[in-house]
Structures are given as structure tokens and as C-alpha cells.
Amino acid sequence: MIIKIKKNTEEEKINNMVDFIKKVEGVEVQFIRSKEGISFGITGDIKAINKNSLLNNKYVDEIIEVKEPYKKVNRAFKPEDTIVSIGGEKIGGEKFSVIAGPCSVESENQILAIASEVKKHGAQFLRGGAYKPRTSPYSFQGMKKDGLELLIKARKSTGLPIVTELMSPYDIEHFEENVDIIQVGARNMQNFELLKELGKTKKPILLKRGLSNTIEELLMSAEYIMYGGNENIILCERGIRTFERYTRNTLDISAIPIIKKLSHLPVVVDPSHSSGKWWLVDPLAKAALVAGADGIIVEVHNDPENALCDGDQSIKPSKFADMMKGLKAIGDAIGKEV
Amino acid sequence: MIIKIKKNTEEEKINNMVDFIKKVEGVEVQFIRSKEGISFGITGDIKAINKNSLLNNKYVDEIIEVKEPYKKVNRAFKPEDTIVSIGGEKIGGEKFSVIAGPCSVESENQILAIASEVKKHGAQFLRGGAYKPRTSPYSFQGMKKDGLELLIKARKSTGLPIVTELMSPYDIEHFEENVDIIQVGARNMQNFELLKELGKTKKPILLKRGLSNTIEELLMSAEYIMYGGNENIILCERGIRTFERYTRNTLDISAIPIIKKLSHLPVVVDPSHSSGKWWLVDPLAKAALVAGADGIIVEVHNDPENALCDGDQSIKPSKFADMMKGLKAIGDAIGKEV
Amino acid sequence: MIIKIKKNTEEEKINNMVDFIKKVEGVEVQFIRSKEGISFGITGDIKAINKNSLLNNKYVDEIIEVKEPYKKVNRAFKPEDTIVSIGGEKIGGEKFSVIAGPCSVESENQILAIASEVKKHGAQFLRGGAYKPRTSPYSFQGMKKDGLELLIKARKSTGLPIVTELMSPYDIEHFEENVDIIQVGARNMQNFELLKELGKTKKPILLKRGLSNTIEELLMSAEYIMYGGNENIILCERGIRTFERYTRNTLDISAIPIIKKLSHLPVVVDPSHSSGKWWLVDPLAKAALVAGADGIIVEVHNDPENALCDGDQSIKPSKFADMMKGLKAIGDAIGKEV
Amino acid sequence: MIIKIKKNTEEEKINNMVDFIKKVEGVEVQFIRSKEGISFGITGDIKAINKNSLLNNKYVDEIIEVKEPYKKVNRAFKPEDTIVSIGGEKIGGEKFSVIAGPCSVESENQILAIASEVKKHGAQFLRGGAYKPRTSPYSFQGMKKDGLELLIKARKSTGLPIVTELMSPYDIEHFEENVDIIQVGARNMQNFELLKELGKTKKPILLKRGLSNTIEELLMSAEYIMYGGNENIILCERGIRTFERYTRNTLDISAIPIIKKLSHLPVVVDPSHSSGKWWLVDPLAKAALVAGADGIIVEVHNDPENALCDGDQSIKPSKFADMMKGLKAIGDAIGKEV
């Protein structure tokens, strides 16, 4: 429920009203400042609110029911774009951000070399898996803590903030201290216990859409994190499961403008996982840019043929450089800084 | 099966070889001229070909097995892009073509007004349904023959070639005489009898991907038409059916670069049907352009609120004009003429 | 819209009312006799009906709006099960019908041998493809007219009515004369022109659900046929397309009780196409029986290893005999005659 | 890899061979005793095994490569059905087991009443959610620890072992002590960290198939648990996500016979979640029985209209009693004890 306040209402009157509503048990109030003026959003047990008495309040202009089940992530609750700050970098707003790096951290040489390459060609963030969710217990499960150490070294040498996937609540503390953006993978998008724990931190979270989850469910999972108190969320479209067999998944390009309309949160696209083929990364990244995405997260490997995972969908640094040039040219044309 | 001929082989020797192979019952031979030299493709009962004797032929450089089930539409059979000519216009090659118009022809005023608007803002083709495939027998089934007459009037007044859907083999003759591009709708993509009939004409065919068909199946349906002798085929990605409920269908943007790689045929995108929402048309059209599509087919209506069908996904002429400007700017950046 | 007539209303009064409504342009009236009394259903341009004046009519008990888009196939329009009569046999009602035979008619020996085997083990109908819808133009397209001749021979020798697929409206007349049940394949479920033509005949139609069509769309396609005047329709659930790769399609077993609730039409299951594996036919046929299906259509071949199509999903006559025994035992337990 | 031992090989020789192989680093050996004789399965780093030397061993009959990625859950590794023992009850083998109870534990009265009802009508296990995975943070999240206490009371009063869902690794210890079967929900099927933790216990695990997971992926998740050392796994088919909108999910009935063929683990069906409609529970339960399932898990509520969750798909005790009678009759016919 959104309470729109009449223009020119004194700050004090508004504060009194907020204080009054906050006393109702089970509800939470948040300020919404936009070009249209001041409103405040109410979530929780809104049935406990006396709507009529609010409507009779002389400072209240209008009451808007938010029919979508997501509230705090809803653009109605925050008309301006959320911009997530990570160290000196940002995701959201005017900038198209590029997160690049290997599927898995494999060795110091590998990650340092790739980090330096992707930085040189314009990436702002380094990705790399340390804890790997694998379908098979017999597959390489990642270098784990050692991999994280190597990512930290790569950050030190390049200055790039690091993005890596968290799989277990047991590791949250360690990630909070050492990682810049915590990734929640597609398979954990509805691991609600993990989401609740992440809601308690202030770390930026990169939340990937599940393989068969709707856009609404993705927003509901973000709502879990925001409900817990963490507003630093970046959504990620990474392809959905369909009957098509040529690609690993089907990139739902429409999800980008839809999420931008429904929510204030930034959204990035993963053209590597959504296609499963390296030669599709370039056109899909460009499609993401013009469709309104705030960035991409892309797999780059210096030796894809011998990568420990996802070699087929990883591009080489030279290919990455070409793609960046193409993205910049398009960015110039549409007024988005790449 | 593709027979690659050694460079500098005399024309006469090649012709002799072709004549020899053509005598084998059940096979068909076609010339492939590309930068790499001359080859020829063999389709049909290729088991009847004596491969060893061919390999021993001194003019034969190599024999390549085409493992994909589609042959004539395969890029291996024709490395250059197919460009379909329609009157003075073309689809395929350097140009990004725009087909625009209403879902259904509703009246003379309506179709003439829309045709003139879309032409003014840069469309090269006029679309409009005369025979409408509707899920319900109680829904408006189109103006049929009268609608086609109005399309012809609109062509006369604007010069735009017309694209309209064929539903029954009984109407082929009438369409051949009067229509510039015959559309085969998603629901008829595997109406093989219709495809066979269309293979006998020389008319350009716009073949839409079925709601749950794979890319390979789309290519196989094009193969039916080409097998029949008609090489003027334009493929159309128009969204597939998934579990996502926000959009009418899910645009499979990856299908564009995939089709361009696998086949020499041009491919256009329908951002209207794939989304079902007018405000998604603009971003999806841009995504199609940068992903490598040869054009779009888009629903434009001067009065969407009162359209007899698909009002929700139709854009107004002013919106169409804006979209065209945006597409041109991007086209300039990527070197594609819009 | 359904008009429920008060009990004990004289026949004459009812007839007068029907005659009166029939005069309204664009509507059609049909009688509904059930245990609850007499009603009549109105389809077409129901907005032209003066509802208030009907409600004031002293013989009218109640007016029920049918919100589903399908009307004539709706159980609300006909509470009793439709039983389709084919020669001396029936589909629908108390009997579980078994249609069996090869994917394709291949030779006289083959079809006569299989027909005699399936009859011996309890099939009531013979299936066999003469005109085959194949994804590839290079695949065996069926024996066509010659195949139909062989089916007729098989019917003569066994007495089994024959079921075979129609692909083109050009063949309807020939099928009407020679075939007992005309099958519309999954790929043609929304070939509305074909459905309209079939609505003009009185032949029983076996209408298969499309690969990605909803239950409602299947019912709408049946509505097309019934709207045209043909009430002899048997629906067929044959599996839908999903992301699962082990089976050819996913049998939607829930569709059986749903269709039985929503519609009065009989429904049969195709356990062969829905699975693509012969060893799944037996358990899926049993599941169909207990879920309430009116029968099955199953592929039986005397030499599956060498079948010209669908060998993997065809069972041998001995396996068919075993399955029939199992079905009979279950039928006895649930009070359904197999 | 499976090593088949020649018949009549002395136990001692076999033991020597096993001891020898066990010394290879990174591999694990397990005995397979079946009607065909003795084999042993090797998992892990099988490339380290010298296959030639094994083939030359005079006691080795044959070496079989297991090409499926799942090993320990593979029927090739254990030809006999796994029967999971829970207290005095069993799941798997000749018996069709029935797990019944409410979606959520709501109060002492509610759970005791339902437990007593389902026991009276033939259920062997009581289900009930204490920790609830909900799409929305604003929805009822379950009674948690208090709910578990009430389940324990219900077990005490009825003797029924209890099944309830675990969501967080933090609760494993508490569940191990108090719960009889730990359920892993569909959304956590690929929460690999949770699976690894559960592999360390000996508790029976009911592992539900994810909404868009393939059968192979379900088996791989079971492999994670078994790889960790816990062999007490019951698989659960609960419907997959498709484009069909009438049902909540689409029950993949084919998954039952497929899982029984590929794996030795028992499999149960959830007809409540797969359909989302109470009146579909009965036919789907029957379909599960005849398709070869080892049981069902079904939602029963004494007051569905006021249930805190899943009221639409819950059946009343009287309906449950009817269903049980129907299942018993069919069970008698097919030789399965219900």
C-alpha cells in the first residue's frame, strides 16, 4: 500500500504520520521520494491499517494498492533506479557494467592472467567460481577457499572488485569479509533460507533467475533479501529451460525491459550460460545492451579448450576485446556508457 | 553430401561430372559457387552414389557429409546469404527490412491510413491479415477476399509490397496472383501439405516458427518448400511457448544468430506476437537488429484500443516513427542500413 | 448461455421459446436434456439476446453464463457423455476402446498380419498411416492411396473399422467414403481450414492435441468441428513438449480427468507417441485406463526393428496381448469393460 | 564400471581382488549380489584402474562401463529394489505406501485429528509442513519448531512415522533426532550443500524432483546423497513446469517406470502438488499405482476451505477414505498391496 502525501505538506506532519503508522503492529513503513513528491510505502500486515481514517487525513492525497506480491522491489515503492555501489564502481544507472572472468578459478596464473586481460579491455568486475554447484558429485567442485584466495590476489593486482558464488550459509561470514558481490546461483534462487541470511548482510547480491522460474518469482526472491534489510541487489537473467535443444538454455531477452518496468533494481544478463556456445555471447551481449540491461556477466578464459568447466561457452580475451569495441559503438549510439 | 572440386578444373570436366551424377536415380545435384571455389551438393537418395569412385576422380578435392537433416537450406550448400527479391525491394543482405501494418485489415480507411503512415516512417512492406487463424470459431475470422482487395488498394496507393497469411491450399492461386509475400503462420509451420504446395510456386514465403518448434524443425519446414523448388524463403522467429506468463510468448533471440550460422536464408523477427505487449516491441526490435536479424515484422495500428485483434501488442504510428529513429541510429553504429 | 427451463413446462411452450430465440440473427439454439430437466444452450452472437426479458419469462428457471470460450463441446451444454458410433463399435461410455496397428502401412502382408493379431488379442479398431506427416521431405511419406487400399483390405479380412490420418483437404472426399475414423494429427490441430472442412462431414474425427497446445486450445479446435455441424469427435492426448529429454514427449495424464470434467467428448490416450519407447506403452496405457480415458491408440508392429517408422515405440503382438490381459484385470477392478 | 566375477569363484579370491582395487587412490568399491552372480561396482577416479590387467584376471568374467553419470543409484550397480526401512514400516518392494497429512501443521487439534483420520483409512506415514518454503516472505512460513513438536505428538498418538521438509542445514541435527523421513523440497533439489550434509546422515530422505529438472538430474541429486554415504533415499515425482495453465504443474507419469528401470531406489508420486486441484488427486493416485510407483504422498485436510496453505489441492478425510478403497481394489488386481 502506498500513501501519497499532498504537495507542500510540512516535513513535521509527514514524520508524525509515519510515527503513527509505525506503531501498528506487523507493518513497516518506508519513504518514497520522487519527482511527483513524497509518498510512503507500507508492507507487512496492511490489513491492520485503518484505510478510511488515513483517507480522511488532510495531508493524504491518495492511497494506492500495490497488487503485485512484491513490494519493496516494486518500482511503485521506489520510482528511481537503484544504483548499487561496490567499492568505487557502480551497477545501475547510466553505465553498462561488464563483469568478466572464468567459470572456475583454476590456478594463480590462470586467474591473474585473465583478470589482467579483461581489465585491459574494459571490464569493471572480475568473476570466477571458487565453490562450484555441479550436477555430479564426481565433477570438479571448485578450488573453494583456495580459489577465493586467488580471487583476492587477482583483485589486489588489478583493482577489480570480485564476484563469486556462495552455496552454503556456513560461508556467508567469510564471503562478507572477502568478496565484493555475492552471487546466488540459479539453482539456489528459491533457497529461501539462504536468501533470508543474505538479507541480514549489506553486501551486494547478484541474484540469478532460476532455470524455470517466472519473472515474478525472481522478484519475490529479491523481495526476501530486501525484506531482510539488504537493498543492494542486482538481478540476473541467465536463460530459462525450454524444449529447444540447440542452446543450453533460452535467453529470455524480454525479461530485461519487463524487470526494468516492474522493479527499480538493476538487471544484468549472462550471455554465456543462457546459450552454452561461445559464438553466441557477442550477439546476445549486444541484444542485452539495447534491450536496456545494466550490464553483462560473461565467461572469459585464456584457454577454453582446456577449461575445467564451461569451455564451450567461454570466449578468449581477444574475442572479448572485439565484443567490448562493438558494445561501445552501440552504447554511443543509444547514449549508454559502456 | 557436398563434392568439392579442385581449383582450376575446367568447366567442361565439371559439367561432365554433374551430368554423370544426375543419371543416378533419385538424386538431385546443385551448384555451389563460393569464394573457396566450386562444389556441388547432392540430395535425395545419396546412398546410391558410389563415393569411392568419386573420391578417386582426379578433379574431386574432398567429399563432405552434411550431417544435418536439412540440406538445401543449409549454409554448407550455399555459403552466401540468400537475398529474396520482392518487386523492387529485397530482404536479406545489408539491409534491415521493416514490414509493418495492422493485425487485421478492418476497413479501407484503416488500411490506407496505416499504410501511408508506416511508409512515411520508413517501412518497406505492408502487412495485414485478411484470412485470420483464430483459436475460436466465434472470433472475427478476417475480411478474407475483401480484405485482400483492400490490401491491393493500399499497395496501389503507397507502392508498398504486401504480406498476408495464407491458410488454405485452395487460396494459393489467388494469393500467387495478388500477394507479394505469402505468410505461413506459426500454427501451419508443420502443415506439410501446404508447404509442398508452396514449394511449387516461386512466390516469396514468410515462414513463421511454430509455438513449440525447434530451430531444426523450422529449417526442415523450409527444406520442404525448397525441396519443392521454391528458394524464396524468409524465416521468422516469433516467440516460443514457455512457462513464463507475463509475456504471450518468449522471444528466442538466440535463434537469430543460430539460423544465420546454420542457413543462408534471411530471418526476420516478430516483436509483437512474441511479447503480446506494445511497450516491449521497441526494445525487442532493437535486440533483433543487433543480434543479426534481416528485419522485423511489426504490428502498427492507428487505434489500438479498438483494434479487432491484437490491440494490446500494436504500436501507434508515432511510436513506430520513434522506434524507426532508434533503429536507424543503432544501424548506423553497426553498419546495417535500416 | 444456457437457459434452464422450469420442471413440468409443457413441450409446446418450450418449442415456442426455442422458435422465438432462433429468430434472433446470428444465434444457434440446441436442446440439452439431462437428469436435471430440460435446458437449451445458445451460441453465437449472444449479445443479441434480451436476457432480461428471458428472465421474466415464467417458464425460465435460471440463465447460466458459460464463461469458457468453448460452448458446444462444454459439458455444461451436454451433461451426458458423448458416445461416438463407428459401424457396430462405439467409443465413449462404459467401454475402454483399443485402437491398434502399425505407424505406417508398409505392405499387404504386414498390415493383414498385424490386423489379424491385434484383433485376436482384443483391439476393436485398426490404425495405420497411409499419408504420413514427416519432419523431413526426405523421409518415407507413406504409401498414400495404395496404403489406404491395403487398410480397406485389412478391414475386409478382420472386420475392424480403420483409423488413419488425413493431411490435406483435397483428400476429404476420398477419406469420407473409405475410412471409418479420420485422424487429425498433432501438427494439424490448429489447421483451422482443415477443421472447418471436417465440420461439414459426419465422419468420426480423432483429434490429437498439438505438441504445445493447452487443454483449452484442444477443446477450441474441437469446437471448430462441432460448430461446423459434426458432433462425432474423439479427443486424443498424445504427449506435450517439455524440457525432459528421456522421452519423446511428456504424457499429460492429468488431461484425461480434466477433459472428462470440462467436456462431454470421449478422450483416448496415445501411449506410443507420448513416450517414444515401447517399454513405456504398457504402464502408460494402464495409467490412462484408471485415470478415466475412454481408450487408447497404440502402435503395434510385427517387426519393430525393421519398421519404416516409429520402430522404437512399437510393441510386438505378444507384448500387446500381455498388455490387454493386464488392462482387462484392471478394468474388472474398476468396473470398466476392456 | 562394473566388474562381473565368474561363477563359482571362491569368496577369498573375490575379497583379494576387492582389497587390491581398494588400494587404488580415489576409487570406491561396492559389492553387487544378484541372481546373475557376484559383481562389484567401482566409482570415483576409474581412469586410475588398469582395465587390461583386470580383463586378464582369470576370475573376471566381463567389465561393463556404466555410461550414465549416476553410478550408485544406478540399477546396474544394484539390480534389486532398494527397500527403505522406517521404524516398523517400509517404502519400496511389494507394498504401495501412503503418506498423508496436511500441507502445514496449523494447531494441535488440526494435526491430531487429521493424523487419526488418515491412519484409520490406511495411511502408513504422516506428512505435515513445519518449515514452509513460500514464494513470498509475507506468506505464512510455518510453525517451525512448534510445528515439529506437534508432529511428534501426532506420531505418539497414532504411531505413524512423520515426514517433514528440511530447509536449512542448521536444522539437520534437530531433524535427525526427531523426524522419521526428511523431505527435500523441489526448490532445494539442486541445493548441493544441503544434499552433501544429508549424505552424512543415515536418515531416510524423500527427495522431490525440481520443477524443471530432468529425470537424470533427479538421479544425480540422489547420487550426491548416496555418494556421501546415505543409501536411504526415496525419490518423488511431483509434477514439472510446462506451458499448460489449467494445472499447477504437469505430473510426469512416465517418470515412474523410467526411474524404476534406471535406478533401484523407490519412487513415490505427489498427486496434490502436481495438479493443484483436489479432484485430480484420486485419478492421479490411481495412475501412479498402476504405472509402478511405490507409493504416494498426498495432502489431506479436515477443513480445506480454511487451510493456511494449499487448500485447493487438499482432499477431505472422507474423500481420502474413498480413494484408499479404490486403490486397494486396483492393488488387488495388479498384485500390489495397498
Per-residue pLDDT of D216-273, as tens digits, reads 999 999 999 999 999 999 999 999 999 999 999 999 999 999 999 999 999 999 999 9
Local confidence band at D75 (pLDDT 50, 70, 90 cut-offs): very high
Residue D5, strand partner residues: D60
Min distance B138 CA to chain C CA atoms (Å)? 7
When the pLDDT of each residue in chain D is averaged and rounded to a whole number, the result is 95
Residues D41-50 pLDDT 10s: 898 888 888 8
pLDDT value for C112: 98
Name the more confident of A52 and C144: C144
Q: What number of C-beta contacts closer than 8 Å exist between B and C?
A: 72
Min distance B89 CA to chain C CA atoms (Å)? 30
List the single best residue of D244, D270, D273 to mutate versus C (max C Cβ within 10 A): D244
Residue pair D184/D172 in contact (Cβ under 8 Å)? The answer is no
Q: Which residues from chain B sit within 8 angstroms of residue A332, using beta carbons?
A: 333
Beta strands across the sheet bearing D2-5: D27-34, D37-44, D2-5, D60-64
pLDDT surpasses 90 at C45: no
| Cα nearest neighbour of B192 on chain C | C133
Q: Which residues from chain A sit within 8 angstroms of residue C245, using beta carbons?
A: 245
pLDDT surpasses 90 at C52: no
Name the more confident of D11 and C330: C330
pLDDT surpasses 90 at D76: yes
Q: Please classify residue A216 by burial: count the beta carbons closer than 10 Å to its beta carbon, then call 0-12 exposed, 13-18 middle and 19+ buried.
A: middle
Residue pair D35/D81 in contact (Cβ under 8 Å)? The answer is no
Q: Which residues from chain C sit within 8 angstroms of residue D256, using beta carbons?
A: 283
For B17-38, what is the mean pLDDT? 85
Residue C173 burial (CB count, 10 A): 11
Residue C107 burial (CB count, 10 A): 13
pLDDT value for A25: 85
Local confidence band at B248 (pLDDT 50, 70, 90 cut-offs): very high
pLDDT surpasses 90 at B111: yes
Q: What number of C-beta contacts closer than 8 Å exist between C and D?
A: 121
Cα–Cα distance measured from residue B236 to residue B257, given in angstroms and rounded to the nearest whole number = 13
For B241, the closest of D212, D241, D243 (CB atoms) is D243
Residue ranges per domain, chain C?
2-65, 84-334
Cα–Cα distance measured from residue B274 to residue C273, given in angstroms and rounded to the nearest whole number = 29
The amino acid sitting at C180 is: D
Q: Please classify residue C316 by burial: count the beta carbons closer than 10 Å to its beta carbon, then call 0-12 exposed, 13-18 middle and 19+ buried.
A: middle
When the pLDDT of each residue in chain A is averaged and rounded to a whole number, the result is 95
Half-sphere exposure of D289 (CA within 13 A, CB side): 30
Half-sphere exposure of B148 (CA within 13 A, CB side): 18
Local confidence band at C20 (pLDDT 50, 70, 90 cut-offs): confident
Min distance B243 CA to chain D CA atoms (Å)? 5
Residues A61-98 pLDDT 10s: 999 889 999 999 999 999 999 999 998 899 999 999 99
Superfamily (CATH H level) for D84-334: Aldolase class I (3.20.20.70)
Q: Do C169 and B168 touch (CB under 8 A)?
A: yes
Residue C47 burial (CB count, 10 A): 9
- Tell me which range, B9-18, C301-310, D96-105, is most confidently predicted by mean pLDDT: D96-105
Q: Do B242 and D243 touch (CB under 8 A)?
A: yes
Q: What percent of chain C has pLDDT over 90?
A: 80
Backbone angles phi, psi at B196, to 5 degrees: -60, -45
Q: Please classify residue B178 by burial: count the beta carbons closer than 10 Å to its beta carbon, then call 0-12 exposed, 13-18 middle and 19+ buried.
A: middle
Q: What percent of chain A has pLDDT over 90?
A: 80
Show which residues on chain A lie within 8 Å of chain B, measured between beta carbons.
212, 214-216, 240, 242-247, 250-258, 261, 274-275, 279-280, 283-284, 286-292, 326, 329-330, 332-334
Q: Do A136 and D220 touch (CB under 8 A)?
A: yes
Give Cα separations from A53 to A25, A59, C135, C322 (angstroms).
Answer: 17, 12, 66, 74
* Angle ∠(A215,A218,A220) on CA atoms, nearest 5: 110
Cα–Cα distance measured from residue D111 to residue D126, given in angstroms and rounded to the nearest whole number = 9
Residues A202-222 pLDDT 10s: 999 999 999 999 999 999 999
Local confidence band at A50 (pLDDT 50, 70, 90 cut-offs): confident
Q: Do C257 and D280 touch (CB under 8 A)?
A: yes
Residue pair B289/B63 in contact (Cβ under 8 Å)? The answer is no
Q: Do B135 and C220 touch (CB under 8 A)?
A: yes
Instruction: Return the residue matching grid coordinates 509527514.
Output: A14
Tell me C169's DSSP state: G
For A141-166, what is the mean pLDDT? 97
Residue pair A154/A112 in contact (Cβ under 8 Å)? The answer is yes
Min distance B227 CA to chain C CA atoms (Å)? 7
Q: Do A257 and B246 touch (CB under 8 A)?
A: no
Show which residues on chain B lie within 8 Å of chain D, measured between beta carbons.
212, 241-243, 245
Residue A331, strand partner residues: none
Residues C219-264 pLDDT 10s: 999 999 999 999 999 999 999 999 999 999 999 999 999 999 999 9
pLDDT surpasses 90 at B8: no
Cα–Cα distance measured from residue B79 to residue A83, given in angstroms and rounded to the nearest whole number = 46
Q: Could you tell me the three cell numbers for A261?
A: 518496468
pLDDT surpasses 90 at A180: yes
* ipTM of model: 0.94
Q: Do D212 and B242 touch (CB under 8 A)?
A: no
Name the more confident of C37 and A336: A336
For B22-44, what is the mean pLDDT? 85
Backbone angles phi, psi at B282, to 5 degrees: -60, -55
Q: Do C242 and A243 touch (CB under 8 A)?
A: yes
Min distance C93 CA to chain A CA atoms (Å)? 36
Cα–Cα distance measured from residue B32 to residue B76, given in angstroms and rounded to the nearest whole number = 9
Chains with ≥3 CB–CB distances under 8 Å to A: B, C, D
Tell me C197's DSSP state: H
pLDDT value for B127: 98
Residues D110-137 pLDDT 10s: 999 999 999 999 999 999 999 999 999 9
Q: Do D192 and A187 touch (CB under 8 A)?
A: yes
Residue pair B284/B269 in contact (Cβ under 8 Å)? The answer is yes
Instruction: Return the residue matching grid coordinates 549416476.
Output: D70
Residue pair C205/C177 in contact (Cβ under 8 Å)? The answer is no
For strands B89-91 and B97-101, give the pairing: unpaired
List the single best residue of C213, C240, C242, C243 to mutate versus A (max A Cβ within 10 A): C243
For B208-212, what is the mean pLDDT? 96
Q: Which residues from chain B sit within 8 angstroms of residue A245, using beta carbons?
A: 214, 216
Q: Could you tell me the three cell numbers for C5?
A: 427451463
Name the maximum alpha-carbon separation found in chain A: 69
- Tell me which range, A5-9, B34-38, B134-138, D269-273, is most confidently predicted by mean pLDDT: D269-273
Closest of D209, D140, D139, D199 to residue D169, by C-alpha: D199
Q: Do C192 and B190 touch (CB under 8 A)?
A: no
Chains with ≥3 CB–CB distances under 8 Å to C: A, B, D
| Cα nearest neighbour of B247 on chain D | D243
For D316-337, what is the mean pLDDT? 97
When the pLDDT of each residue in chain C is averaged and rounded to a whole number, the result is 95
Q: Do A252 and B244 touch (CB under 8 A)?
A: yes
Tell me D333's DSSP state: H
Cα–Cα distance measured from residue C223 to residue B58, given in angstroms and rounded to the nearest whole number = 64
Residues B255-313 pLDDT 10s: 999 999 999 999 999 999 999 999 999 999 999 999 999 999 999 999 999 998 888 99
pLDDT surpasses 90 at A14: no
pLDDT surpasses 90 at C35: no
Local confidence band at B50 (pLDDT 50, 70, 90 cut-offs): confident
Residues D293-305 pLDDT 10s: 999 999 999 999 9
